């Protein structure tokens, strides 16, 4: 059985959501952040040397990185390609892969800089300027890709929506979503899915 090591609060709730969408049985190990430092507890280092979450175990496999975990779970459980195109449709698959890796690869870093700036009482002009421009670039790009569609790859939900929802939700938490009502609606559409609601019920005890 898949074991998910889930840290509250953080991006692994989006992995819980994926497991719920796939409808598979899984075990959930919940960890809490250190209240003083807001970092992961040492116990996560016993699971994986980085001590971060999400991490899944499947037998002898220990896998970190949310994008890799998504890919693995799709390969193993999405046999009828409900959540991703088959590799035989190479162009669609490549496009899907691009949107799967984009959130962690490009969008997260400027949001993280913004998050740290909000915690700082000093002025960091270079970082402010960089993060503001990059956040605008990436949220604009996601907004354009979405257009009038329901989900990031069109009108069907796909596994690319897990990571995109994560960075859009983080942008919302950082007060960056106001110029993008379509992204607000997109987030609401995703987070109101029954599988996400089940994930919240199970993971937030």
Interior CA angle at 188 toward 203 and 200, to 5°?
Answer: 5
C-alpha dihedral sign at 70, 186, 197, 82 = negative
Residue nearest to ligand GSH according to CB distances in the complex: 10
Smallest distance from the beta carbon of 196 to ligand GSH, in angstroms? 17
Distance linking the first and last C-alpha atoms of the chain: 21
How many residues form the binding site for ligand GSH (CB under 6 A)?
Answer: 11
CB of 64 to ligand GSH, least distance (A): 6
Query: Cβ 3 to ligand GSH, closest distance in Å?
Result: 16
Restricted to residues 17-76, the positions that interact with ligand GSH (CB under 6 A) are 39-40, 52-54, 65-66
In angstroms, give the least distance from the CB of 80 to ligand GSH. 26
SS3 category, 30: strand
User: Under rule CB under 6 A, which residues in 81-110 are in contact with ligand GSH?
Assistant: 104
Q: Which residue, 92 or 134, is less far from ligand GSH as judged by CB?
A: 134
In the complex with ligand GSH, which residue's Cβ is closer, 185 or 204? 204
Task: Give the burial string for 179-195 (b: 16+ CB within 10 Å, else e).
Answer: ebeebeebbeebbebeb
**6 sits near ligand GSH (criterion: CB under 6 A):** no
User: What DSSP assignment string belongs to 75-131?
Assistant: HHH-TT-SSS--TTSHHHHHHHHHHHHHIIIIIHHHHHHHHHHHH-SS--HHHHHHH
Query: Which residues in this chain contact ligand GSH in the complex, by CB under 6 A?
Result: 7, 10-11, 39-40, 52-54, 65-66, 104
């Amino acid at each position: 059985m898949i074991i998910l090591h889930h840290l509250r609060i953080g991006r692994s709730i989006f992995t819980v959501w994926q497991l719920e969408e796939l409808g598979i049985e899984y075990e959930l190990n919940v960890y809490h952040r250190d209240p003083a430092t807001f970092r992961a507890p040492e116990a996560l280092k016993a699971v994986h040397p980085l001590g971060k979450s999400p991490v899944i175990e499947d037998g002898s496999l220990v896998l970190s990185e949310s994008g890799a975990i998504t890919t693995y779970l799709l390969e193993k459980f999405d046999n009828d390609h409900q959540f991703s195109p088959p590799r035989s449709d190479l162009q669609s698959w490549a496009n899907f892969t691009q949107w799967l890796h984009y959130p962690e690869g490009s969008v997260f870093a400027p949001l993280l800089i913004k998050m740290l700036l909000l915690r700082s009482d000093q002025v960091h002009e270079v970082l402010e300027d960089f993060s503001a421009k990059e956040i605008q670039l990436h949220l604009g790009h996601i907004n354009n890709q979405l257009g009038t569609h329901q989900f990031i790859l069109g009108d069907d939900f796909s596994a690319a929506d897990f990571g995109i929802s994560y960075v859009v939700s983080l942008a919302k938490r950082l007060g960056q979503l106001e110029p993008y009502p379509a992204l607000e609606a997109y987030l609401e559409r995703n987070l109101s899915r029954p599988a996400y609601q089940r994930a919240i019920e199970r993971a937030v005890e």
